[in-house]
Chain A
């Protein structure tokens, strides 16, 4: 069966520290992968999407970067966190064929 794992579920990091959130997918190959963020009081904002290994598209300029070292692994990173990076981060995947999408459990990041 198809599943998606995202960790950690919650994270508290000091300003200026690095960040690495990982997302892995099982049960499919060559998925489209997405990183979203929801800041307090706002809807989801698409941060990055990837249609294949090493192919990353960024929707908004920011303090974050993404990488896809393997077909079913998507990593969200930052070298130095800012207070404004606090939020709820969600990983998702779909097949790119216009059918259902699958979402990770999300990571609640608090930068202090």
Chain B
């Protein structure tokens, strides 16, 4: 079945780069997404990548897609304490639905 996996925790120091990884199973996914959830708030779409792209950069965010290995990553450059949140990877499934990973909690230490 369709599944999205990501590690649950990541801890980095302020100013370092953060890399959050995700693997997915549905090779027919059209879009792959990264969402952010801050404490007490709903999900916020950070960025997305079309499945025929390898990379997308948006300010401090870089998304890399390895379609062969079904691996997606989100790199946050110059990580700040305000980046502390849970980051969710999601794929657009074959039925037009969204399938989410369980989320990676990013902790940024000063």
Contacts and interface: CB of A to CB of B under 8 A. Distances in A.
Interface residues of B, number: 21
The range of chain A's interface size is: 20 to 34
A36 interface: yes
Contact of B98 (A10, A46, A101, A106): A106
Contacts of B105: 98-100
A44 interface: yes
B40 interface: yes
Secondary structure of the A side of the interface? strand
Contacts of B86: 98-101
Interface string B72-87: 0000000000000010
Interface in A65-112: 88, 90, 92, 96, 98-103, 105-106, 108
Secondary structure of the B side of the interface? strand
A101 B95 contact: no
B42 A100 contact: no
B21 to A, nearest CB: 16
B33 to A, nearest CB: 7
B8 interface: yes
Contacts of B42: 34, 36, 44, 46, 49, 59
A27 interface: no
A43 to B, nearest CB: 3
Interface of B: 8, 33, 35, 37, 39-40, 42-45, 48, 86, 88, 95-98, 100, 102-103, 105
